[in-house]
Amino acid sequence: MSTNWLRNPHGVPGICLYGASLPAVGHDTEKLIMSSPDRSPRPARPTETSSGSPAVNTRLASYNDEDHFGFQRTSSSELPDPVPLAENLARSVMEILAGARDLEQISRWVTDDVYRHLVTRVQVSARARALKKIPVYRPSFTLGRTLVCTPTDGVAEVVVVVHGKARSRSIAMRLEGLDGRWRAAAVHVL
């Protein structure tokens, strides 16, 4: 059984480890390739990829995991209108605090910090209802005016006014465009 080896820039059979899309790291003379099956390092010749950037040995390239696997910011032009999400999120938060809805239902639309904050608010609300022996009920309210402000690209600060039977409240949210969708980075029920 024969093994077909690629030819590196030196014409020697071996493994060529050039990455086409990674940025150049260091000087071209410092880049190494593994030029033969015995993996002895040899200096690489400077080459360019089809995109015009120098090729890089991917084993020597340094990168930050957050650049590739963390949340990626999204421009406002690539995101939908934030008003429907803000109104649905405000309605859901009111129902969650009343105990009529489960918090996990909105976990996709809020950041981890907001989720942790809402967990504590839900626990406090549940404890207060238990002490006063108030049963869980679905609150009846109507949504009033929704105000949107965009301080920077990919950020929307929204206030939704909620009118209940006894009082009116406002819910302030900061929505950030992350991974192609809006996520609530802050939620405050006033």
* 106 vs 27, higher pLDDT: 106
- Position 158 pLDDT exceeds 70: yes
- Do 114 and 41 belong together in one domain? no
Summarised one tens digit per residue, pLDDT across range 176-186 is 999 889 999 99
Give percent above pLDDT 70 in the chain: 63
* Count of structural domains within the chain: 2
Average pLDDT of 166-174? Answer: 95
- Position 168 pLDDT exceeds 70: yes
- Position 165 pLDDT exceeds 70: yes
End-of-domain residue from the set 46, 67, 88: 67
- Do 60 and 84 belong together in one domain? no
- Do 183 and 120 belong together in one domain? yes
Per-chain mean pLDDT for the chain: 78
Cβ atoms within 10 Å, residue 141: 18
End-of-domain residue from the set 15, 49, 67: 67
What is the per-residue pLDDT for 71?
A: 77
Q: Which helix (H) or strand (E) holds 124?
A: helix 112-132
Cβ atoms within 10 Å, residue 90: 26
Per-residue exposure over 145-158, b if at least 16 CB sit within 10 Å of its own CB, e if not = ebeeeeeeebbbbb
E-strand ranges in the chain read 6-7, 13-14, 18-19, 32-34, 41-43, 56-57, 141-149, 155-164, 168-178, 181-189
- Do 116 and 168 belong together in one domain? yes
What is the per-residue pLDDT for 5?
A: 44
* 143 vs 25, higher pLDDT: 143
What is the per-residue pLDDT for 59?
A: 61
What is the per-residue pLDDT for 61?
A: 56
- Do 49 and 82 belong together in one domain? no
**CA 100/CA 176 separation, integer angstroms:** 27
What's the predicted TM-score (pTM) here?
0.63
- Do 25 and 97 belong together in one domain? no
Q: Which CATH number does the domain housing residue 131 bear?
A: 3.10.450.50
Which residue range is the domain that position 9 belongs to? Answer: 1-67
Nearest to 143 by CA among 106, 92, 79: 92
- Do 98 and 160 belong together in one domain? yes
Q: What are phi and psi of 46, to 5 degrees?
A: -65, 130
Rg of the chain taking only CA atoms, in angstroms: 27
- Do 60 and 94 belong together in one domain? no
Summarised one tens digit per residue, pLDDT across range 26-85 is 444 344 444 445 555 555 455 555 666 666 555 655 656 666 666 788 898 999 999 999
Which of the residue ranges 3-12, 55-64, 149-158 has the most confident prediction, judged by mean pLDDT?
Answer: 149-158
